[in-house]
Chain A
């Protein structure tokens, strides 16, 4: 299997998923709304004190992304299960990791799109201004999202097929994401709030290590967990 052929299949899967998502516009609107709603509700829970809100902003932002993100992962597999498309998908020539990579790319685009809307909402609601170090902040967000989407795409391949997928996916996913949550929260906070104590560079490195390990792991192990 040549690299070009692999890329054709990976991009075909990604394009197909993105097209399906674009068609069902209601879904991405609902997911983004849920993200924004979570921010609002957390704001009520914390109270209107500006200092408290600003300290909590990064953490709550990532929690909102997590809660709305799991919906994206479920849908990614639901479209395969609905028409019996999964079996057909698995019968094409090629490797299983290509399917994973394609879905990962599509989910990444969708989650990043949700974040593009939810983050500004968070900045507004939680009285946070965009810092000068925003490129580094962007790197933290991208790397954190990659880790989140990698594990989310991987675990939902299993959880979406079980009886209790709404509870099982968070149960599997959230403990695994603690390092990402900490790194992204602390990394974001140190750039957003100007926290001089945070060693943002170290958190970035942690995110890179995490992403590399689990991306490789997922690509290797996916063929063992996917089946019609």
Chain B
């Protein structure tokens, strides 16, 4: 992998994603309504089952966040362009939020279904592990001061964490099938399929907005740091290479 200096352009870019700020919530309300109204109450749980229309799309989307982290981390190590590092970090922050939300909703679901706050359900347990992986990325970042080292190390941790996602899922699922106590909540009933898909798209729009917004803030923060550095250096900002 070549290491070449880049003059990175951190100036604010086109804000194509800005309309999502109002569009995504609107779409989400619409798809939630669709989900609530279009499918009948569950046999056992009644309307409480509908929490799945938030829980499952959020879960799918945090997995997508991991994909973004992987891509951006690899790109950073390849190009040493810090914008990729900023994107990866933004995706991790938003991903952590969504993973945490998945855990909370899953816990609530378990409480409603079986009266317990935690079941060692395969998917929920995997989510807990992946949540810890996201957190450890953020912890490493906060303990590393030098921006260049922080970017390289974060990229390594991001790549490894993302690589582990399918392995974690598989191993925890096998583990649970060996010690099967309770059955997993079923979401494969085709009645729910469209509701889930539409909500997944709505949550995707929302997550895209969050990541893009966080990324924009990260770029602005970094640009400020560069300007401060070039002041200390006594050169123009454009001459500061990343």
Contacts and interface: CB of A to CB of B under 8 A. Distances in A.
Given A168-B143, A224-B155, A213 B149 contact: no
B202 interface: no
A197 B176 CA distance: 12
9 contacts: A155-B157, A158-B140, A168-B139, A175-B132, A175-B136, A182-B174, A217-B159, A221-B159, A225-B152
A183 B171 contact: yes
A44 B164 CA distance: 34
Contacts of B175: 182, 186
Interface string A68-89: 0000000000000000000000
A225 B153 contact: yes
Given A186-B175, A206-B167, A217-B160, A171 B153 contact: no
A176 B160 contact: yes
Interface residues of A, number: 34
Interface of A: 151, 154-155, 158-159, 162-164, 168, 171-172, 174-176, 178-179, 182-183, 186, 197-199, 202-203, 206, 209-210, 213-214, 217, 221, 224-225, 227
Contacts of B149: 227
Interface residues of B, number: 31
B168 A179 contact: yes
Given A154-B160, A158-B156, A176-B133, 17 more contacts: A151-B160, A162-B140, A171-B132, A171-B136, A172-B136, A172-B157, A175-B129, A178-B171, A179-B167, A179-B168, A179-B170, A182-B171, A186-B175, A206-B170, A206-B174, A213-B163, A217-B163
Contacts of A186: 174-175, 178
Given A178-B171, A224-B155, A172 B163 contact: no
A176 B159 CA distance: 12
Interface of B: 1, 77, 129-130, 132-133, 135-136, 139-140, 143-144, 149, 152-153, 155-157, 159-161, 163-164, 167-168, 170-172, 174-175, 178
B172 A176 contact: no
Contacts of A214: 160, 163
